Amino acid sequence: MMIYGIGIDVVEVDRIESAIERQGEIFLNRLFTEGEQDYCSKQKRPGMHYAARFAAKEAVSKALGTGIGGKAGWLEMEVMRSDSGAPTILFHGKAADFLAAEGISIVQVSLTHARDYAAANAVAIRQVG
């Protein structure tokens, strides 16, 4: 196995909260899956959790070297929680196809958030040989 790429992103929580306030469901449905929305909406401060997921998707797109768009869209990357509570990322559609084509077998993500900022990093690992 070898590292395919790494990525990091930091987001101002109030930027995401403002976008949710201005655009509501249009914003949420464009960037977050149903599962992500279900989780975040149940939190004490949903905007903070949305910001962490936004940062995770940006970090993953950097680790993959794709940016957000043609090979890995917003809704094709889904940040979920494992049974232990650790963040995991699921890939759908073209993003899943891209990982398979590139031999990427693991993408690890780490999230953090504080009052004003949310951040994430990602490591994509490729199977070799």
* pLDDT tens digit sequence for 113-126: 999 999 999 999 99
Find the largest Cα–Cα distance for the chain. Answer: 49
Catalytic residue among 62, 71, 92, 94: 62
Residue 94 catalytic? no
What's the whole-model pTM score? Answer: 0.95
Closest to 18 (Cα-Cα) out of 58, 51, 40: 51
103: left (phi over 0), alpha (psi -120 to 50) or beta: left
When the candidates are 3.90.1580.10, 3.40.190.290, 1.10.40.30, 3.90.470.20, the CATH number that belongs to 2-126 is 3.90.470.20
Q: Which single residue is written with the structure tokens 């949903």?
A: 46
Residue 62 catalytic? yes
Q: How confident is the model at residue 27 (pLDDT cuts 50, 70, 90)?
A: very high
Q: How confident is the model at residue 100 (pLDDT cuts 50, 70, 90)?
A: very high
Give the model's pLDDT for residue 128.
Answer: 82
